[in-house]
């Protein structure tokens, strides 16, 4: 299982498109999946196709997340495939789902990349700070050791900190390693609660709305009932906090003409979006309007990520400047005191 590599976004999109071609050719979904299962040599892909077949045979409620591989396919895909239609709309749906999956993965990649440069800058700076604590501060401690308690409080603090870190180096390293491991294990939960972080939370909200409107547009274009479409689109949202709020829209909307009011009650959508939905209701083109809204949010997220990079750079520079500057001042305070006494 060690060599059971993860499936890429491109491979997942290709799987959807292959199923699309087979269904458009009149091949039943079960037979299409069997064919793909025989054709692929990739162990992980075999596992995904097998799991998809099993999930298609199960009675999966749209009220919960019970799929074996929700990272590769969701309730919306399972719902449409369970209908076992081989018409053009299903083929278009699968291609649209592939596009949607690739867009979502691209946005997540951009969000991760946004933090790479600040993260490496921060790590580099931390290494410099640790080097100062381990190698530089002890030198100053030897120089000023005879002054003991007469040293400034700030100087004594950093000298004591240096001594603690040096004497407990193994414990400190283990604590850092465990912290990194723990963060990696709970990063999915962190993504949910990152919605409460200023500015970053706004971007995650926009990503949730973009995915919701994108999936809702695709589902409505396949004539899926509005109530069911709303539930499935909400389940496609990765952030559970926003996903639950969006699910509640489906509890109040029974007809497409009620969509604007239902979205309004969620308090997640700006007036511009609500006005566009109202226009779509009147012109009977809600699915098209929703796709336009998703496209707008995609561009808006790009702009927001660019701004976030600038904010992170400024924050890190200020933070590190304060830390390093305080350490330098702490080490030179005794020298300043001696100079003033000598003067």
pTM for this model (two decimals) = 0.76
d(C-alpha 5, C-alpha 50), whole Å: 16
d(C-alpha 296, C-alpha 304), whole Å: 12
pLDDT for residue 220: 92
pLDDT, tens digit only, all 343 positions of the chain: 444 567 787 788 888 889 888 888 888 888 999 999 998 888 889 999 999 988 888 765 544 457 788 888 888 888 888 775 555 677 888 888 888 888 888 887 887 777 777 778 778 877 888 888 888 888 888 887 666 667 888 888 888 888 888 888 899 889 888 987 887 777 666 666 777 888 888 999 999 999 999 999 999 988 889 999 999 999 889 888 899 999 999 998 999 999 999 999 999 999 999 999 999 999 989 999 999 999 999 999 989 988 888 888 888 888 888 888 898 898 888 888 776 655 5
pLDDT for residue 62: 47
Render pLDDT for 191-224 as a digit per residue (tens, 0 to 9): 667 778 888 889 999 999 999 999 999 999 888 8
Render pLDDT for 295-327 as a digit per residue (tens, 0 to 9): 999 999 989 988 888 888 888 888 888 888 898
Q: Residue written as tokens 């458009």?
A: 24
- Give the domain ranges of the chain: 9-86, 100-343
pLDDT for residue 63: 46
pLDDT for residue 67: 79
d(C-alpha 191, C-alpha 19), whole Å: 31
Closest CA to 80 of 115, 63, 103, 55: 55
Q: Is the four-CA dihedral 69, 75, 77, 82 of positive or negative sign? A: positive
Q: In sequence order, what are the residues at sequence separation of 6 or more whose Cβ sits closer than 8 angstroms to the Cβ of residue 97?
A: 16, 76, 77, 218
Contact 330, 151 (CB under 8 A): no
pLDDT for residue 3: 45
d(C-alpha 237, C-alpha 219), whole Å: 14
E strands present in 80-162: none
pLDDT for residue 290: 95
Contact 281, 257 (CB under 8 A): yes
d(C-alpha 250, C-alpha 254), whole Å: 8
């Amino acid at each position: 299982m060690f060599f059971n590599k993860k499936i890429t976004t491109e491979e997942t999109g290709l799987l959807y498109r292959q199923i699309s071609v087979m269904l458009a050719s009149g091949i039943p979904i079960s037979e299409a999946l069997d064919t793909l299962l025989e054709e692929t040599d990739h162990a992980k892909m075999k596992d995904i196709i097998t799991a998809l077949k099993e999930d298609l045979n199960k009675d999966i409620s749209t009220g919960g997340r019970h799929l074996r591989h929700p990272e590769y396919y969701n309730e919306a895909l399972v719902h449409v495939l369970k209908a076992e239609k081989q018409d053009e709309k299903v083929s278009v749906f699968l291609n649209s789902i592939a596009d949607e999956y690739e867009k979502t993965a691209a946005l997540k990649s951009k969000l991760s990349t946004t933090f790479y440069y600040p993260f490496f800058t921060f790590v580099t700076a931390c290494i410099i700070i640790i080097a100062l604590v381990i190698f530089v501060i002890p030198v100053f401690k030897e120089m000023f050791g005879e002054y003991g308690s007469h040293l400034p409080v700030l100087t004594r603090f950093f000298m004591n900190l240096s001594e603690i870190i040096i004497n407990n180096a193994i414990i400190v390293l283990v604590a850092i390693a465990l912290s990194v491991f723990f963060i990696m294990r709970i990063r999915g939960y962190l993504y949910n609660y990152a919605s409460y972080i200023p500015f970053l939370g706004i971007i995650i909200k926009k990503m949730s709305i973009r995915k919701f409107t994108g999936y809702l547009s695709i589902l409505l274009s396949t004539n899926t009932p509005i109530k069911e479409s709303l539930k499935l689109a909400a389940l496609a949202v990765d952030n559970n906090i926003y996903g639950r709020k969006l699910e509640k829209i489906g509890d109040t909307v029974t007809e497409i003409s009620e969509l604007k009011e239902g979205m309004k009650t969620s308090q997640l959508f700006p007036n511009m979006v609500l006005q566009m939905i109202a226009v779509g209701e009147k012109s009977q083109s809600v699915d098209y309007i929703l796709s336009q809204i998703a496209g707008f949010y995609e561009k808006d997220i790009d702009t927001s990520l660019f701004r976030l990079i600038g904010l992170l750079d400024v924050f890190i520079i200020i933070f590190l400047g304060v830390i390093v500057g305080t350490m330098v001042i702490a080490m030179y305070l005794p020298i300043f005191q001696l100079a003033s006494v000598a003067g």
